[in-house]
């Protein structure tokens, strides 16, 4: 599974990066790599079974258990 994930990400990098380097779009390259590393870390942790805290669940908890603003 992890091998498959790494293959997919290498494929994405090979698909996007060469044209960015050829056009000298360095800013785009940096943003792309930052976002892709965030995506890789999240997907990797999800694949090996680590529980990542979800922002949606956090907001639900805030609304329901702390502010008590939900419908009953």
Partner 1 sequence: MRLERGEISSSQLTFLISCFIQGALFPLSLAFPISKHDTWLALIAAFIIGVFIVLIYIALASRFPGKNIIEINDLIYGPYFGKLVSLQYVYFFIISLSGYLWFIGDFVLTFIMPETPIIVIMTMFTFICAWAVRKGIEVIARISVIFVFIPGIIILLTFALLLKNMEFTNFLPVFEVPLEDFIQSTNIIMHISVCEVLVFLMVIPYMNKPKQAKRSVLLGIISGGLILLTGMIRNIAALGPLSEIVTDPSLIAVSLINIGKIISRLEVLVSMAQILLLFIITSVFYYAAVLSVAQITKLRSYLPVVIPIGIIGITLSLISYDSRMQFSYSTMYITPILSMHIYIVIPLVSLIVAKVRKLPQRNGRN
Q: With binding defined as CB under 8 A, does residue 2 bind partner 1? A: no
Q: With binding defined as CB under 8 A, does residue 63 bind partner 1? A: yes
Task: Please provide the DSSP assignment of 24-62 as one string.
Answer: T-HHHHHHHHHHHHHHHHHHHHHHTT--PPPHHHHHHHI
Q: With binding defined as CB under 8 A, does residue 59 bind partner 1? A: yes
How far apart are CB 3 and partner 1 at their closest, in Å?
16
Output DSSP code: residue 66.
I
Is the Cα dihedral 16, 18, 23, 27 positive or negative? positive
Interface residues with partner 1 (CB under 8 A) are 12, 15-16, 20, 25, 27-29, 31-32, 35-36, 38-40, 42-43, 46, 51-57, 59-60, 63-64, 69-72
């Amino acid at each position: 599974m992890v091998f498959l994930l790494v293959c997919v990400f290498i494929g994405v990098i090979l698909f996007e990066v060469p044209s960015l380097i050829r056009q000298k779009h360095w800013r785009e390259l940096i943003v792309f790599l930052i976002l892709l590393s965030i995506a890789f870390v999240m997907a990797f942790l999800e694949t090996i079974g680590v529980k990542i805290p979800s922002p949606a669940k956090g907001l639900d908890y805030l609304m329901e258990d702390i502010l008590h603003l939900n419908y009953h």
